[in-house]
A = this chain, B = another copy of it.
Amino acid sequence: MPVFLDTAEPDFASRFEALLTAKREDSPDVDDAVAAIISDVRARGDTALIGLTERFDRLALKPGGLAITAAEVDAEIARVPPADRAALDHAAERIRAYHVRQMPTDASWTDPEGATLGWRWTPVEAAGLYVPGGLASYPSSVLMNAIPAKVAGVERLAICVPTPDGVINPLVMYAARTAGVDEIYRIGGAQAIAALAYGTESIAPVDKITGPGNAYVAAAKRRVFGRVGIDMIAGPSEILVIADGTSDPDWIALDLMSQAEHDESAQSILITTDAAFGRQVADAVEARLQTLERRAIAGASWRDFGAVITVADLSEAAHLSDRIAPEHLELCVEDPRSLSRQIRHAGAIFLGHWTPEAIGDYVGGPNHVLPTARSARFSSGLSVLDFLKRTTLAEMTPEALAAIGPSAERLASAESLEAHGLSVAARRERLNKSGQ
């Protein structure tokens, strides 16, 4: 059973705090192992990758055989059922349409003192996308990472996806092809991250690495951060549903289970103004847990980390939601737009009874790579901005330098940075001499 809380109870504050701070994930210390793998790949390149792939994925690669060729991709794609292709095409189209709107604009203006200022956005040249192998090898994640990169204008997008025992996921290949991925390598783990960051004989290095992965992949991303850019280090998935009792309890139960089935460390929380409704949802969850294919995983998540919280009103719900700062937030209430305006910290909000979170995982359009573990307080989901960077621009006329230069000289002097001041003063002296 999940924990049941009520804001009216005297010990609510401490129990809620305990829920917020509960550690949901063991972080095995793989840092030394990862450091050794990265060193090995830097030193021995493809040879190291081949050895590590044989060891971890039970797959003997030939030199030159790291890439999955276009012909192999063709062959895998041929095995994808037409209905799966159509669904993935539909998703890709909607994700692309959403992310195109995120493209930021350049700016340039001349201010009253004569300075022309602005900025310009440019794409990262090369990006690498990690795709986990096995059960968690999700075609939808390929779309969610690759499409923003391509919309941003990344020229070279490489995927690393391990293929344990040589098994390739055909729909992952189809997603990569659909999203415009340029290169695919059958390697995984920390060795894949090392190859993307440092390059080997057959894999050119990239500038940015994104995508989910296990503890080895996460530790490797932390280690190469700085040499390349990385996206967030994602924790286990979370959903918070705020419900006023006007939904079908079974719908809410399924929404909670759609996070819980990801991972035993996932967390599903219901906040409701209606205690009886909360109990109905919990009952519906128990009923669904009798039959769900992934009931072992979903049941463990719900038992260990699930919660049903009764609140006095929706304002209280919004307040608690901001303290949780959920990755996914469903507002299953009569007036979701009004409630959404009271929410400040959430990765993604799903409004109303007809927007189950699973829509957002696949075909809604917004990205499903979102901040976990309360990091929505300070960070955002993946977007085209993750594959762009901004260069600021400044151009002074002689008149502008005359107008603002003296303040720069004064501050340089206050900071004891003489050459800074002189670099401005030398130019201003020329202006004075030339009578400008």
Interface residues of A (CB under 8 A from B): 83-84, 86-88, 90-91, 94, 97-98, 101-102, 104, 107, 109, 111, 113, 115-117, 119, 122, 124-125, 135, 138-140, 171, 207-208, 226, 228-229, 233, 248, 250-251, 254-255, 257-258, 260-262, 288, 292-294, 298, 336-337, 340, 343-367, 370-371, 373, 375-381, 383, 385, 389-398, 400-401, 404-408, 410-412, 414-424, 426-427, 430
- The CA of A353 and the CA of B226, in the complex, are separated in Å by 33
Residue of B nearest to A399 (CB): B354
Q: A257-B419, A364-B115, A420-B258 are in contact. Are A94 and B394 (CB under 8 A)?
A: no
10 extra interface residue pairs, beta carbon distance < 8 Å, beyond A87-B406, A294-B417, A298-B419: A86-B410, A101-B107, A135-B416, A354-B398, A354-B401, A356-B427, A357-B423, A362-B411, A380-B391, A381-B390
The residues of B that contact A357 with a CB separation of less than 8 Å are 423
**Chain B: minimal CB distance from A388 (Å):** 8
Nearest 9 pairs of A and B residues by beta carbon: A229-B378, A366-B392, A87-B410, A351-B395, A254-B423, A257-B419, A358-B420, A87-B407, A380-B390
Expressed in whole angstroms, the minimum distance between the Cβ of A291 and any Cβ of chain B is 9
Provide the residues of chain B in CB contact with A354, threshold 8 Å. Answer: 395-398, 400-401, 427
Which B residues touch A139, using CB under 8 A?
Answer: 411, 414-415
Q: Residue on B with the closest CB to A393? A: B349
A255 surroundings in chain B (CB, below 8 A): 423
- Which chain B residue shows the least CB distance to A420? B358
Which residues of chain B are within 8 angstroms of A362 by Cβ–Cβ distance? 407-408, 411-412, 420
Contact A377 B124 (CB under 8 A): yes
What separation, in Å, do the CA atoms of A238 and B87 have in the docked complex? 49
**Chain B residues near A125 (CB-CB < 8 A):** 344, 377
Distance in angstroms between the alpha carbons of A94 and B408 in the assembled complex? 12
Q: How far is the CA of A229 from the CA of B374 in the complex (A)?
A: 11
Residues of B within 8 A of A254 (CB): 419, 422-423, 426
| Complex: A148 Cα to B9 Cα, angstroms | 42
Partner of A377, one of B207, B346, B377: B207
Once A394-B351, A411-B363 are accepted as A-B contacts, the answer to whether A419 and B90 lie under 8 Å apart by CB is no
Considering the chains assembled together, what is the distance between the CA atoms of A424 and B257 in angstroms?
12
Take A258-B423, A292-B419 as given contacts and tell me if A358 and B408 are in contact as well, using a CB distance cutoff of 8 Å.
Answer: yes
Name the residue of chain B whose CB is nearest to the CB of A140: B411
In the assembled complex, which residues on chain B have CB atoms less than 8 Å from the CB atom of A87? 406-408, 410-411, 414
Contacts of A404 in B (CB 8 A): 90, 94, 359, 363-364
A418 to B117 Cα, complex, angstroms: 53
By a CB distance below 8 angstroms, the chain B residues around A408 are 87, 91, 358-359, 361-363
The reply to whether A430 and B349 form a contact with Cβ atoms under 8 Å apart is no
